Amino acid sequence: MEAWQWPLWLQGLALLWGRAAMGLAQSPTGAPPALACSAFSQKSCDECLKNVSCLWCYTNNTCIDYPVRSILPPSSLCSLSNARWGVCWINFEALIIAIAVVAGLILVSVAVCCCYCCYCRRRSRSRPDEEEEQLARKREERRLQSLQRKHERKLKHDEIRKKYGLLQDSDNPYSRFENE
C-alpha cells in the first residue's frame, strides 16, 4: 500500500509560506535600518504608511508603531475610526468590515462548492442508474402488456374465423375455400 502524501499544491504553499517567514525574519545585508514610526509624526499620512509597521492616527496626526501583540490597536492608543493602516483613504473600522465581508464571501463560496461537489454530484451520479432501471422496468411492462393484448386479439380473431368457418386448417394452409 502506498504511503499517503500531502497534495502538491499544499506542499508548494507551505514552502512559499516558510520562505516568506524567513525573508521577514532576516533583513537583507546592507539595507539601511528602518526609521522609527515616531519620526513620521506631524508629517503626512502617506509618508507614515510607507512603512507597513506604522499606524497613523488622525486625532492628533501621529505616526505610531502598530501594536503587533494585539490584533486590533487598543482604543486608548487611537480610536478605530481615526486609525489608518496600509492606506490613508480607508479607516481601520471600514478595513476590518471589508476584510470580514470578503472572508465571509470566500467561506460561503467554499461551503457552497463543497456542498455541490460532495452532495449534489454524488446524488446526481446515483440517480441516472435508478432512473434507467425504472425506465427499463416500465419498458418491459409495456412490452409484456403489448404481447398479451396481441395474443388476446389473435384468440378473438381465431374465434370469429372459426364461427364463420374461415379458420384455415393448420395441416394444409393452402386448401381451397369452397362457397356454398
Q: Examine residue 18 and state whether it is found in any structural domain, yes or no.
A: no
For the record, the C-alpha cell of 148 comes out as 398479451
Convert the pLDDT of each residue in 37-73 to its tens digit: 888 888 888 888 888 888 889 888 899 888 888 888 8
Please state the pTM of the whole predicted model: 0.44
C-alpha 148/C-alpha 166 separation (Å) is: 24
Put the strands of the sheet holding 54-57 in their side by side order: 62-65, 54-57, 83-84
Q: Examine residue 4 and state whether it is found in any structural domain, yes or no.
A: no
CB burial of residue 56 (10 Å; 0-12, 13-18, 19+): buried
Same domain, yes or no: 115 and 69: no
Dihedral angle over CA of 53, 57, 61, 66, nearest 10: -20
User: Domain range spanning residue 136?
Assistant: 92-165
Of 55, 71, 89, the domain-final residue: 89
Of 42, 57, 89, the domain-final residue: 89
Same domain, yes or no: 85 and 104: no
Q: Which residue has the higher pLDDT, 50 or 34?
A: 50
Domain count, the chain: 2
Same domain, yes or no: 141 and 110: yes
